[in-house]
């Protein structure tokens, strides 16, 4: 009985040490796991917004999503932020001046099953995974610096593609995303489709590109500045030309008057 009790005691002590060891491992590595997956932060606040120019191109319309295809621009504004949850309002503006509002809708940046592509967690790095509704998991594959309104912004890049049956054909779909790294706000998005084997006649593209925001000051592009300089120079040239012509006419009139007086 004593030996049996001693055996059980030694077994209990041995398992206790294993439990302590496992708990130590969890204590050391769990902060990294939690911060890497469940502790991702929101980089936006209530009132932040981005306006996108919408463009459609190609020979067909598979990529021209309803409502988006008719819009002149789309604006996405953060209505509320609570911890890792946010509320977004989407406004569509059409060429005739009318507008349509979608939402507000909510999601949590830590809920990988409901995350959408409008705003992702802030300050992600290459290799980090995100999950976008309807697309599945995407991986940040590059971080690059890009210019938006003469402001240099670090951006996170990701792509997604698949080929799926489409009636008797196969359709290839491709998504490309660029997010602002600091805030997680979407900056550019391109959605492209075509029928495999008929790329030149069935290509369809829908694209978003940032044109305005209150996240940073967006100035006019260098090209616009050059155009303004050209217009200003042309205005000065025209004014100078008019002045010279008027001076010459005045001089001729004065000379003619002098000749008439001398006669």
Residue 76 shares a structural domain with residue 28: no
Residue 9 shares a structural domain with residue 88: no
Residue 120 shares a structural domain with residue 198: yes
Residue 30 shares a structural domain with residue 59: no
Give the whole-number percent of the chain exceeding pLDDT 70: 67
pLDDT per position as a tens digit, 176-235? 999 999 999 999 999 999 999 999 899 999 999 999 999 999 986 544 333 343 444 444
Please report, for the domain that includes residue 56, its CATH number: 2.40.360
Whether pLDDT at 133 is above 80:
no
Whether pLDDT at 4 is above 50:
no
Q: Is residue 226 part of a domain?
A: no
Integer angstrom CA distances of residue 208 from 3, 26, 172, 185: 76, 43, 20, 13
pLDDT at position 258? 56
pLDDT per position as a tens digit, 49-76? 999 999 999 888 777 887 888 999 999 9
Query: 116 or 164, which is more confident?
Result: 164
- In a 3-state reduction of DSSP, which class is residue 243? helix
Q: Is residue 117 part of a domain?
A: yes
Whether pLDDT at 25 is above 70:
no
Helix (H) or strand (E) holding 252: helix 222-262
* pLDDT-derived band at 168, boundaries 50, 70, 90: very high
Residue 74 shares a structural domain with residue 13: no
pLDDT per position as a tens digit, 76-127? 999 999 998 999 999 999 999 999 999 898 888 877 555 668 899 999 999 9
pLDDT at position 71? 94
pLDDT at position 134? 77
Question: What mean pLDDT, rounded, does the chain reach?
Answer: 78
Residue 173 shares a structural domain with residue 201: yes
Q: Is residue 109 part of a domain?
A: yes
236 CB-side CA count, 13 A: 6
Instruction: Look at the block and give the residue holding tokens 């029928």.
Output: 195
What lies within 8 Å, CB to CB, of 176 at 6+ separation is 157, 158, 159, 188, 189, 190, 192
pLDDT at position 247? 52
User: What's the CA gap between 59 and 41, in Å, rounded?
Assistant: 41
Residue 65 shares a structural domain with residue 141: yes
- In a 3-state reduction of DSSP, which class is residue 141? coil
Residue 7 shares a structural domain with residue 89: no
Which domain, by its residues, includes 32? 1-38
Q: Is residue 244 part of a domain?
A: no
220 CB-side CA count, 13 A: 8
């Amino acid at each position: 009985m004593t030996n049996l009790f001693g055996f059980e005691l030694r077994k209990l002590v041995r398992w206790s040490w294993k439990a302590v060891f496992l708990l130590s491992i969890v204590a050391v590595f769990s902060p990294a796991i939690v911060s890497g997956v469940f502790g991702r932060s929101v980089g936006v606040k209530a009132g932040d917004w981005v306006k996108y120019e919408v463009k459609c191109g190609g020979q067909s319309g598979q990529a021209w999503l309803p409502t988006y295809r008719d819009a002149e621009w789309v604006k996405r504004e953060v209505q509320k932020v609570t911890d890792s949850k946010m509320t977004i309002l989407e406004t569509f503006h059409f060429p005739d001046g009318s507008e349509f509002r979608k939402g507000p809708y909510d999601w949590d940046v830590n809920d990988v099953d409901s995350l959408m592509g409008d705003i992702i967690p802030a300050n992600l790095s290459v290799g980090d995974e995100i999950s976008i509704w309807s697309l599945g998991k995407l991986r940040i594959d590059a971080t690059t610096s890009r210019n938006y309104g003469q402001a240099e912004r670090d951006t996170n890049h990701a792509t997604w593609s698949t080929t799926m049956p489409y009636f008797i054909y196969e359709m290839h779909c491709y998504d490309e995303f660029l997010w602002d790294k600091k805030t997680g706000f979407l900056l550019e998005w391109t959605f492209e489709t075509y029928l495999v084997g008929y790329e030149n006649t069935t290509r369809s593209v829908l694209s978003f590109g940032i044109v305005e925001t209150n996240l940073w000051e967006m100035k006019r592009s260098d090209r616009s500045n050059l155009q303004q300089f050209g217009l200003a120079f042309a205005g000065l040239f025209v004014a100078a030309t008019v002045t010279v012509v008027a001076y010459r006419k005045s001089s001729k009139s004065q000379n003619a008057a002098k000749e008439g007086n001398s006669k």
